[in-house]
Amino acid sequence: MKTIQFSSKPANISIVEKFIDDLRAEYNIGDDVYGNILISLTEAANNAIIHGNKCDESKNVSIDYGMDARGKNLTFIVKDQGPGFDYGNLPDPTAPENIEKTHGRGVFLMMQLADMVVFSDRGSTVEMSFRI
């Protein structure tokens, strides 16, 4: 596994976007999977910065990543330094009362787009895998 790390500043999402673009070239990732990774990883990093670390620039977000031995699955582990959250008890963003809200879709999108999503450390860590 390799790691990138950055401070909890919302503008640092650009670091994540460039990182994903670099991985696309390195692993020859197709358009569909690239889009799924881009959305999922930027959502996870955004959540870590904003909700996990509360935009406290003295706290970091780390992303560990690596390819499995068969070269078929790319895995990302996003960690923040926050207290976590109850990932099993989130409002359904597709429910009529939530459909027009501008937030609350990140975890839903990750669950829809990644091939595997696992939360740990009381929600301050999320692991996502993508078949490439």
Residue 81 scores a pLDDT above 90: yes
* Model pTM above 0.85: yes
% of the chain with per-residue pLDDT over 70: 99
Sheet strands side by side (includes 73-79): 2-7, 60-67, 73-79, 125-131, 116-120
pLDDT of residue 92: 78
pLDDT of residue 16: 97
**Mean pLDDT for the chain overall:** 93
CA 29 to CA 40: how far, in whole Å? Answer: 15
Lowest mean pLDDT, pick from 1-10, 36-45, 69-78, 83-92: 83-92
Residue numbers of the domain that contains 26: 2-131
Residue 9: give its domain's CATH number: 3.30.565.10
Domain count, the chain: 1
Q: What is the pLDDT of residues 27-45, one digit of tens each?
A: 999 999 999 999 999 999 9
